[in-house]
Amino acid sequence: MPEKKNKKARKPVKFKTITIKVTARQKKSLLNFSKSRRTTPNKLIKKAIRPLLQNYADMELNSHLPAKVNQLELF
CB 44 within 8 A of CB 33: yes
pLDDT tens for each residue of 34-70? 999 999 999 999 999 998 888 877 777 776 666 666 7
Between CA 32 and CA 43 the distance in angstroms is 14
Which of helix, strand or coil describes residue 50?
A: helix
Mean pLDDT of 12-29: 95
Average pLDDT, the chain: 85
Q: What is the pTM of this model?
A: 0.60
On the question of pLDDT at 28 being above 70, the answer is: yes
